[in-house]
Amino acid sequence: MTVSVLSLYRRIARWPAGHWIFSRLVCFKAPYFATIAPRFVALEPGRCEVRIRDRRRVHNHIGTVHAIALCNLAELGAGVMTDATIPADMRWIPKGMTVEYLKKAVGTLQGVATPETPVRSAVDGYEWPVEVQVTDAAGAVVFRARVMMWISPRKQA
């Protein structure tokens, strides 16, 4: 039996330090995301909120959060939101991403991933756009991404 990411989040988030534990489990499954030390704040079908702290290991040469760290935050939020939203008989993979760097990214940053269109079941695969907005502590949008997900039926065993 496979446990869905959404049911795992709902179970673990209630525990003391549950958001931290869930974030560590996601990074254990996909280790590259540990480079930004994400913290999941909220997860529900159609919405995922993830935070990263401003720390030296995610900085660029001018002391702001590096562009690729922002891309990692966007892909992580979009992927986990997609996993929590699509039907169990479907699978996903990122197909592409376009990004906009709107202002210097400093301080704690929060990314919110939401779909641009409702998810649908399909016999064939299809593209599903996910928008991710990253805001700073003041609520200003510093980065925006559009992650194109490829949604397709799971192969039958």
**For tokens 């907005």, what's the residue?**
133
Q: Is the pLDDT of residue 1 over 50?
A: no
Fold of the domain built from segment(s) 5-153: Thiol Ester Dehydrase; Chain A (3.10.129)
| Cβ count near 75 (within 10 Å) | 21
Q: Write down the domain spans for the chain.
A: 5-153
* pLDDT tens-place string over residues 129-155: 999 999 999 999 999 999 999 999 988
Neighbour-count burial for 83-119, b at 16+ CB within 10 Å, e otherwise: bbbbeeebebeeeebebeeeeebeeebbbbbbbeeeb
How does DSSP classify residue 17?
T
* pLDDT tens-place string over residues 62-102: 999 999 999 999 999 999 999 999 999 999 999 999 999 99
